[in-house]
Amino acid sequence: MHIPDGFLVAAAVGTTYVITAGGVANALRKAREKIGEKHIPMMGILAAFVFVAQMLNFPVVGGTSGHVIGAALVAILVGPWAAVIIMSIVMIAQSLIFQDGGLLALGANILNMGIIACLGAHYIYNLINTVLGNNRRSKLVATFVAAWGSVLLASIACAIELALSGVSPMGVVLPAMAGIHALIGLGEGLITIVVLNLVMSTRADLLNLQRI
């Protein structure tokens, strides 16, 4: 899902950078006063997990690739704003170290996988928990749907950016990206459930951390 340099027109690059800068700045402002000593190790572990998980890429037509994101797990464990910070750090590191996504496209990649995916997962998770009741079963159901939905939302945003930049027609890139990521989202949902269930069984105290 990482967009390389040269795929987005200048207007898309500028717009996504402005939106992303505002979103990350807001996340830093909201998280600054709430991050405690117990959050730091968890944030570091989650950043490493996401970094490794995103290394496996699948080519997709329309000029980009597909992979798991990890945003839902991060948002569920530490909250949406801390999740935005974690995902942004991962995107920056991938771009600078592995050239996975270009610097000009960094704003779009953070917007798609860091902001849209994290906030989408957060609101989907909370909505389903509210409807089904805040118990273990509802948490797992909400986790699966939130993980699947976060991947789909990010892929749709990516497809729209590519189509508006003239990389590929909307009728080609949107079904291609949404279709493959709807399938990838199923895998991400299962992985996220397994990890969260393990956390609930072995370190339930981590779920009681203040979510940021």
Question: Domain map of the chain by residue range?
Answer: 10-208
Per-residue confidence in pLDDT tens, the chain, 212 aa: 788 888 999 999 999 999 999 999 999 998 887 777 777 888 888 898 888 877 766 665 555 556 678 999 999 999 999 999 999 999 999 888 877 778 999 999 999 999 999 999 999 999 999 999 878 889 899 999 999 999 999 999 999 999 999 988 999 999 988 998 898 898 889 989 998 888 888 876 666 555 67
Give the CATH class of 10-208: mainly alpha
Alpha carbons 29 and 3: distance in angstroms, whole number = 27
What is the b/e burial string over 121-135, where b = at least 16 CB atoms within 10 angstroms of the residue's CB?
A: bbebbbebbeeeeee
- Tens of pLDDT, residues 25-69: 999 998 887 777 777 888 888 898 888 877 766 665 555 556 678
